[in-house]
Structure 1
């Protein structure tokens, strides 16, 4: 962080934000590089790889690109003043205060007022459970479990931007890239972590193996049923009306 401290002698960037990856929600490439260098724990490297890329929207580019924001996981979208820190700390705070929320996530899925779902659950903002309290109404345990999965869902980059494991891109046009969509299989047989990762990378789950061919978004289940896969679901980001 020597370069960072040289430009910010107080240890804090403008606005009182903490240095490093805590804020803003999209850090600069130089800060990501500085965060990578001291990592000696493989687990820490997996967390960073599941959160951010070291690529900027314009590619790696020259030295000046170190002052550009990097591409982040499509699982992470900014909500209001949310930062990378609060993306993880908010759902963690819920389950620390009430560990039964983890069991609730796997059983009843009770919605809690004020839980934003970290933009992983669009129903948190559309549930409308209480006319007096418009929400949001998210499921904290589900959100926490989702954030804990990021180390096995590393960020990947194509020529149009950031993807991640389970994320694919619709066929686009010459002038407009295709939209991103997440594909997630549902399977019957219990699997350990390496087996889950292998299944998520199965070529039959990719609904668009050739992005140059404009075809329907369709998954071929042949070859998956023998692995215990029941079906494959898909989802994509929803944009609020009037939002950027």
Structure 2
């Protein structure tokens, strides 16, 4: 089995890790069932294991997957009707008691494979096991919609960017280039860019379109259900208390040495030992149980709300 290191996907940020998850899932789901993922302990680079021998081959296969997305659709292997197109009000954010009735007409006309893929996305993006403050089915902790954004538009814009400039996929794996006017879908705090930084006098966003799209493609590996006090709980999210007693929700993503497949990634992210990797002083340290699973580091991040922000905030790595 060949090993290909991805120079731009490092384990020091949630965007880099989620983008690596997305690469793995796309390759395994749509191109090469044998694909696996590990991390280099020295460089913390993502490593893809499989039949490919170079980054160029991986980029080529990812581009093929993009090219095969049906016209009008925003997801590989899913018909155009899902998620419901258009901006807010989001057609997928139905009242808790009506989610199943809302989604059923979208799924019934699909072929079996499309329906299964749509169900994986549904289980990631929303849950009817609990509700938000308005009574709607709760959404994933990975999403932080703002303004008129819907699940469909969240997925549409990064896809449109890489369709317009296919080189964004290569940049995502080789060397990130920030593009003015593109967002990081609140997965990348470095996408925030103010007037003092760019000298233009105007606030702007500078995301990495290819990496953002790949990160979004990881979502079916990260399920959303319900936790304590009927709050939504997505894979990898934990509640932690800082000195002083204040509680925060934080995302914990492991880095591991052994090659594992997509189901293994889900199992590792959701492993109970991930809840025990933070010490009393707020620092992270893989426990003996995690080390026995090959985990050598854990990347932690929390939502940061910039001045004037109207979403749940943008993910920012915790320096521990």
TM-score, structure 1 length as denominator?
A: 0.75
Are the counterparts in 2 of residues 79 and 119 from structure 1 also a CA contact under 8 Å?
no
Matches for 1:55-204 after TM superposition, within 5 Å: 55-57=130-132, 68-126=135-193, 130-132=198-200, 134-158=203-227, 159=229, 161-171=231-241, 178-204=247-273
Contact kept, 8 Å, 2:225 with 2:234, in 1: the verdict is: yes
Greater RCO (Cα-Cα under 8 Å, separation 6 or more) = 2
1:219 Cα deviation from its structure 2 partner? 4.5
Q: Distance in 1 between matches of 2:254 and 2:277?
A: 15
Shift of 1:111: 0.4
| Structure 2 residue ranges without an equivalent (≥5) | 1-80, 311-320
After superposition, the Cα gap between the structure-2 partners of 1:72 and 1:216, relative to the gap in structure 1 and judged at 3 Å, is farther
Match of 1:4 in 2: none
Task: Name whichever structure is richer in strand by fraction.
Answer: 2
Q: Deviations over 1:25-82 (max 9, x none)?
A: 4722255222433436221111011101112137xxxxxxxx8322110111113322
8 A contact 1:24–1:84 mirrored in 2 = no
Tell me how far apart the structure 2 counterparts of residues 144 and 24 of structure 1 sit (CA, whole Å). 23
Tell me how large the CA RMSD over aligned residues is: 3.0
SS at match of 2:138: coil
SS at match of 1:37: helix
Deviation at 1:130, TM superposition (A): 2.6
**1:241 and 2:307 aligned:** yes
Counterparts of 1:123 and 1:183, CA distance in 2: 18
Unaligned runs of 5+ in 1: 1-17, 59-66
Count matched residues.
212
TM-score, normalised with respect to structure 2: 0.58
Q: Which residue does 1:24 correspond to in 2?
A: 89
Q: What is the rounded CA distance, in whole Å, between the counterparts of 1:142 and 1:20 in structure 2?
A: 21
Q: 1:104 to 1:155 in 2, by over 3 A?
A: same
1:9 is matched with which residue? Answer: none
3-state SS in 2 of match to 1:80 = coil
User: Aligned partners of 1:83, 1:234: CA distance in 2, in Å?
Assistant: 26
Find the aligned partners of 1:20 and 1:102 in 2 and give their Cα distance: 23
Q: CA deviation at 1:227?
A: 3.2
User: Which of 297, 301, 312 lines up with 1:231 in the alignment?
Assistant: 297
